[in-house]
């Protein structure tokens, strides 16, 4: 149990999503020999994921989507919790915290979309199914964009943590590829190229599993801080280090500069004030360090 930690959440979610997709695809190809479902269009010979999911395997589709979203949301929540506790590189600015919150908000929207589109299948509820499909794709894409922005901010201030840069690029590649494929999917579907759209949908879904697995990169480092007695102070120490190396962003910088000018002026009054000047300078340095 030594290495069992929060990183298992994205692994469970990704494996569940892969298992669901493979179960649906292999059932349609092997078991039904590419049967044509009632929900398919006249000139369509390749089934959408939702076509197979609306058939006798609907319980698998619904269960797979629910379990996938539960553990994926646990991954998002764990990332935020561990950064708050200082066990991962913490969010030290308002911008980072806002980006983190937006990431979770749009992930929840994506969760609602994926969960409900599996229940409101394309055969019985085609209009609702399309709406929830849009929520699923848009929600998780926007969530990925915001988490990329958050990780970019974090990696610029914490260059020693290379895992942030690695995770950032993995997610950027996902966003770019999925966005291109999503646009192509919408275009082909709108123009009636349903077989091409179906193939694109399967590809988009399988690539999504690798995005889920990418959270393993983010959560695995928390193993090293599990039993660290200083882990509760990590966030504060990282924040102090950042401000120490970026003095231009220190709050109350103007007050500090005024105090330094006062100390400089006081040094010209004579040797009798030298002790007081040293004490004030020491206090000024202490104030900056204790921020």
Residue 270 has pLDDT above 50, yes or no: no
Helix axis angle, 194-213 relative to 8-26, nearest 10°?
160
Answer yes or no: are the C-beta atoms of 154 and 89 closer than 8 Å: yes
**pLDDT tens sequence across 121-155:** 999 999 999 999 999 999 999 999 999 999 888 87
> Is the model's pLDDT at 54 over the cut of 70?
yes
For residue range 16-26, list pLDDT tens digits in order. Answer: 999 999 999 99
Read off the DSSP letter of residue 27.
I
Q: What is the pLDDT of residues 77-126, one digit of tens each?
A: 999 899 888 888 888 889 999 999 999 999 999 999 999 999 999 999 99
Q: What is the mean pLDDT of residues 42-50?
A: 93
Average pLDDT of the chain, as a whole number? 82
Q: 265: number of CA atoms within 13 Å, CB side?
A: 6
- The pTM score is 0.75
Q: pLDDT tier at 287 (50, 70, 90 boundaries)? A: very low
Residue 37 in contact with residue 54, Cβ under 8 Å? yes
pLDDT at 281 over 50: no
Tokens standing for 177? 């590829």
* 165-185 burial code (b ≥16 CB/10 A, e <16): bebbebbeebbeebeebbebb
Residue in 274, 248, 271 with CA at minimum distance from that of residue 263? 274
Residue 46: the pLDDT is 96
């Amino acid at each position: 149990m030594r290495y069992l930690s929060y990183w298992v959440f994205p692994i469970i979610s990704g494996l569940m999503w892969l298992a669901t997709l493979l179960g649906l695809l292999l059932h349609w190809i092997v078991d039904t020999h590419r049967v044509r479902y009632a929900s398919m269009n006249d000139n369509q010979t390749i089934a959408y994921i939702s076509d197979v999911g609306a058939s006798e395997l609907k319980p698998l589709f619904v269960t797979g989507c629910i379990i996938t979203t539960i553990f994926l949301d646990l991954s998002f929540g764990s990332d935020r919790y561990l950064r708050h506790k200082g066990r991962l590189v913490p969010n030290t600015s308002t911008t980072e915290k806002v980006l983190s919150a937006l990431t979770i908000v749009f992930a929840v929207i994506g969760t609602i979309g994926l969960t409900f589109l599996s229940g409101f299948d394309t055969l019985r509820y085609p209009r609702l199914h399309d709406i929830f499909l849009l929520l699923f794709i848009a929600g998780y894409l926007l969530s990925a964009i915001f988490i990329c922005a958050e990780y970019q901010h974090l990696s610029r201030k914490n260059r020693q943590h290379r895992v942030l840069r690695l995770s950032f690029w993995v997610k950027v590649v996902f966003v770019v590829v999925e966005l291109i494929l999503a646009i192509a999917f919408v275009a082909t579907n709108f123009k009636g190229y349903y077989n091409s759209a179906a193939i694109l949908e399967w590809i988009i879904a399988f690539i999504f599993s690798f995005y889920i697995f990418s959270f393993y990169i983010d959560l695995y480092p928390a193993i090293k801080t599990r039993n660290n007695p200083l882990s509760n102070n990590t966030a504060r120490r990282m924040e102090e280090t950042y401000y120490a190396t970026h003095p231009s962003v220190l709050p109350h910088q103007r007050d500090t500069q005024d105090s330094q000018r006062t100390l400089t002026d006081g040094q010209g009054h004579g040797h009798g004030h030298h002790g007081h000047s040293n004490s004030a300078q020491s206090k000024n340095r202490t104030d900056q360090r204790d921020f």
